[in-house]
Every structure is written in C-alpha cells, then in structure tokens.
C-alpha cells in the first residue's frame, strides 16, 4: 500500500515536559486541550500532574499543505 496523502488524525497521546518541576508525562486526548495554530505549528496545553503548572506543547506541522 502506498499513502498518497496522509490523513489528518489528531495524535492520541502527546508527551509534555513541565518547565517548572521537570516532570515529563504523556497525556491522552481527554487530558490535554488544543490551543490553536500559529502558521504550521499546533499548540496543546495540559496541566502538569505533579505541580499543576500549565504546560504548553508545540507540535510542528512540518510539510502539511499550509492550512491555518
Ligand atoms: Zn510540573
């Protein structure tokens, strides 16, 4: 099978790292929330399970077709 154009599924698990306490954790889609786009990049936020600080994750969109 050859993928001509990959689909656009949201990643189900994202790995966050907390800048406040250094915790690294994986969050399910039910745990984090989508913040928005800046250009190609997507931003997600999740509360740190250790210190409750808000962690923001940037997911680079790479070579997608330029939707914003
Ligand atoms: Zn933390």
CA pair distance 21, 4, nearest whole angstrom: 42
CA pair distance 27, 59, nearest whole angstrom: 14
CA pair distance 26, 33, nearest whole angstrom: 13
- Residue 50 located in a structural domain: yes
- Residue 39 located in a structural domain: yes
- Residue 2 located in a structural domain: no
Question: Three-class SS of residue 27?
Answer: strand
What does the chain come to in residues? Answer: 68
Domain count within the chain? 1
CA of 26 to the centre of ligand 1 (A): 13
CA of 48 to the centre of ligand 1 (A): 5
- Residue 36 located in a structural domain: yes
- Residue 6 located in a structural domain: no
Beta bridge pairs of residue 17: 24
Domain that holds residue 27: 13-59
pLDDT 10s digits, 4-61: 988 876 658 999 999 999 999 999 989 999 999 988 899 999 999 999 999 999 998 7
Beta bridge pairs of residue 2: none
CA of 59 to the centre of ligand 1 (A): 19
- Residue 65 located in a structural domain: no
Please give the model's pTM, rounded to 2 decimal places: 0.71
């Amino acid at each position: 099978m050859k993928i001509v154009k990959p689909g656009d599924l949201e990643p189900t698990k994202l790995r966050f790292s907390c800048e406040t306490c250094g915790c690294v954790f994986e969050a399910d889609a039910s745990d984090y929330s989508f913040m928005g786009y800046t250009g190609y990049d997507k931003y997600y936020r999740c509360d740190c399970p250790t210190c409750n600080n808000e962690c923001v994750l940037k997911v680079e969109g790479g070579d997608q077709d330029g939707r914003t």
